[in-house]
Amino acid sequence: MCLGVPGKVIEVDREMQIATVDFWGVKKEVRLEVCDAPVAPGDYILNHVGFAIRRIPPEEAAETLALYDELLRLADEQDLMTADVRAELDAAPDATRSPKVAPDESQ
């Protein structure tokens, strides 16, 4: 429960203090009010129980992500660390906000 889980910031709603964050392809809403620094799209954050507790600069993310890549790749439901990471993902609600950017017309 101390582990948290890192994700990539896609969009930031400064007024509501909420970021849309991509965790291994799953988009979640994460609250920003306890984060240590302002975040922008492209940054990574560490999510703990639905709150970003730290901004992770993009250049430092790879090192942090490696452990989680392995835990989620193994996808062993019985594993305590994997279960911890999954619980941290479940802590953040699915992103349901409509994107502010107009959708790509070509799609």
Among 16, 26, 40, 49, binds other proteins (CB under 8 A): 49
26 makes contact with other proteins (CB under 8 A): no
Q: What DSSP character marks residue 36?
A: S
Residue 31 touching other proteins (CB under 8 A): yes
Q: Quick one: tokens of 48?
A: 């703990």
Segments in the chain forming alpha helices (H):
58-74, 80-91
Using the rule CB under 8 A, is 7 a contact of other proteins? no
Residue 63 in contact with other proteins, rule: CB under 8 A: yes
Name residues contacting other proteins, limited to 80-99 (CB under 8 A): 80-81, 83-84, 87-88, 90-93
Identify which range of 7-15, 19-27, 48-56, 94-102 contacts other proteins by CB under 8 A.
48-56
CB atoms within 10 A of CB 105: 5
Residue 2 and residue 4: Cα distance in Å, rounded? Answer: 6
